[in-house]
Structure 1
Amino acid sequence: MRYLGRGVAGLSRWATIMGGLSIALMMAHVTADVAMRYIFNRPLSGTLTVVTYYYMIFATFLPLGLAERRRAHISVEVLTDMMPGRVQHHLRGWIMLPTAVVMGLVSWRTFDAAIKAWDLGATQVQGATRILVWPAYFALPLGTGLMALILLIRFASYLTGRPDGLDESEASR
């Protein structure tokens, strides 16, 4: 399980780098658009579409795996903090399974939508420019699928008591 965890951790790192790169590209693209608009009175065509259909989608969904690996998702422990430590441990362990199922369903449905968008050759028209948007549809199933896979690996680790290989400190051993 440790090797599978390391492989998924590597995919998660790659997806997160792509999400971070999309933020840097978005910043450069919007800056160039503003400069072209105000200096040369010639804005870059399609900026709004590229920002909303690519950069923002990649920056939002690709790093979901990293957030799950780092246990950085928002959680509210109003009642669970009052429970004994052993109950909290088992509750955290068992909640991973239904969460993985939900994220797996989201991944499956968004993959289906991505395939349909691909088949249609989905585009968005902005001004006189037609921009392909179907590739961005694949970011959703990738991000949610990674999160589901990480949750399943963690759940298996919880059940067996064996290391999952997902954590940075564990990967160096």
Structure 2
Amino acid sequence: MSDRPETGLIAGLRAVETLLNRVLAGVAVTLLTLSVLLAFVSVVLRYIFGSSWSIIEELCRFFIVYATLLYFGPLITRNAHLTMSIVTDMMPKRVYRFFDLGLHVLLVVLLAGLFWAAWQWEAGLYAMGLTTMSGEMKAWVPSAALPVGVGIALFYAVLRVVYRVADAPLSLAGGVKE
């Protein structure tokens, strides 16, 4: 790890990452809050007014799915995920850096393939004009969470590769070994 201050491309990428982290966190919290509020409305409608709207229940589920998939990306560069690090903890820092680089190059390839497949699936749903179980929402709307979330995760995985190639320090959130 280098002790030089970040400038140029890496500093610009960090600024973009920081802004995107804040936006995605705000969107995720908003979606989770909306899900809770809609669940409350659904309970009130069902038990006080004897009415149940399936679209509200669908929205609750979809908001949670969107929030989860949208925030998958920031967890990549923060290394904030569950790991079994017994082997990597024993690696010298330089070896760990190249091991981590290799893993994240593989992650970029896998996410790119998943993004392409999700995009094709989404295009198929749109072309068929399918609706969700309530019949009130087009099926591509909730399923768009997958290509959007995977696309954002792909961006973050590429950031992680760029940081490793540039020997830039990683965020210390999530216990990154730097």
Partner residue of 1:135 out of 138, 141, 147: 141
Query: Structure 1 residue 153 and structure 2 residue 159: aligned?
Result: yes
Corresponding residue pairs, total: 164
Query: Structure 1 residue 83 and structure 2 residue 91: aligned?
Result: yes
Q: Which residue of 2 aligns with 1:171?
A: none
Q: Deviations over 1:49-99 (max 9, x none)?
A: 2223x2122122011112123221222112222222322222122211001
Q: CA deviation at 1:9?
A: 4.2
Structure 1 gap ranges (5+): 169-173
* Secondary structure class of the residue paired with 1:161: coil
Q: Which residue of 2 aligns with 1:26?
A: 35
Partner residue of 2:22 out of 13, 29, 41: 13
Partner residue of 1:42 out of 25, 45, 51: 51
* % same residue: 22
Q: Deviations over 1:94-123 (max 9, x none)?
A: 211001111121112111111221222221
Structure 2 gap ranges (5+): 1-8, 174-178
Q: Which has the higher strand share?
A: 1
Counterpart CA distance in 1 for 2:149 and 2:15 is 17
Summarize the Cα distance change of 1:136–1:9 in structure 2 as closer, same or farther, 3 Å threshold: farther
Q: Kindly indicate whether the alpha-carbon contact (under 8 Å) linking 1:8 and 1:146 is maintained by their aligned counterparts in 2.
A: no
Q: Which residue of 1 aligns with 2:5?
A: none
Q: Kindly indicate whether the alpha-carbon contact (under 8 Å) linking 2:115 and 2:150 is maintained by their aligned counterparts in 1.
A: yes
* Secondary structure class of the residue paired with 1:79: helix
TM-score normalised by L of structure 2: 0.78
Q: Kindly indicate whether the alpha-carbon contact (under 8 Å) linking 2:97 and 2:164 is maintained by their aligned counterparts in 1.
A: no
Q: Kindly indicate whether the alpha-carbon contact (under 8 Å) linking 1:19 and 1:58 is maintained by their aligned counterparts in 2.
A: yes
